[in-house]
Structure 1
Amino acid sequence: MADDHDADRLKALEQRIAKAKGGDAPKPHTEEHYSQAQLAWRMVIELVAGLLIGFGIGLGLDTLFGTQPIFLMLFTLLGFAAGVLTMVRSAREIQEKRLADEAAKKKG
């Protein structure tokens, strides 16, 4: 396919340029610099999902029981709290992973 052929040609060109410069072949492009944005979006989505689920449950219960804003407000606040708790857990998980990676780099 044309895309595969173009990718092969691009890799070969990068290797020739690196050889002409006297260095090793360039490192392939990784998504490491995107990781911060991905983590931020993950946390935003977790918060919004908690809010929407709480809102939906509250609205459904208010419709079922005929009590208009009581359950809606209560479950929206509970959904917000659940979203924040999930964000904190994600942040803690990410921090532990980074600390483990840094410790591994110091050992190696």
Structure 2
Amino acid sequence: MPDPSDDEAERARDAERLRGLEQRLSGKGKDRPGSRTEEHFSQANMAWRMVTELVAGLVLGFGIGYGLDQLFGTMPILLVIFTLLGLWAGVKTMMRTAAEIGKKPGTSGSDKGE
């Protein structure tokens, strides 16, 4: 049967080795720069948001124009006008989102991209 003092000494050595290992591991992650995958996903999300805004403007304009044309019996004219207005609104919203990307986080500015 091992001596109790030898057992305690072995535990103390193990604990010291464990602390040394934890120190080495805590210093490892700080040396390397962070991964860019999170930034990549953020940019992809912004791109999808911009595409969705553009398509939503077009679909909304098309739907309103088609509905009004059915209501008033003026088939192509309101459809074309509201589809173009929807395109304009989608592009305007998309440009506002693009201006948000250019701003630094925490800075204030107007909707004009300042």
TM range (shorter): 0.5 to 0.7
Q: Report the TM-score, using the length of structure 1 for normalisation.
A: 0.64
Q: Which of 22, 34, 42 is matched with 1:35 structurally?
A: 42
Runs of 5+ in structure 1 lacking a partner? 1-15, 101-108
Q: Counterparts in 2 of 1:22-101, with a 5 A limit?
A: 23-24=28-29, 31-97=38-104
Which digits, 9 at most, give the CA deviation of each residue in 1:72-108, with x for residues without a partner? Answer: 00000000000000011111111113695xxxxxxxx
Q: Which structure: greater helix fraction?
A: 1
> SS of the counterpart of 2:28?
coil
Runs of 5+ in structure 2 lacking a partner? 1-21, 108-114
- Shift >6 Å, 4+ stretches: 25-30
How many residues align structurally? 83
Counterpart AA for 1:31:
E
Looking at structure 2, the residues matched to 59 and 81 of structure 1 have their Cα atoms a distance apart, in angstroms, of: 17
Find the structure with the greater CA-based Rg.
2
Counterpart AA for 2:82:
F
Q: Report the TM-score, using the length of structure 2 for normalisation.
A: 0.61
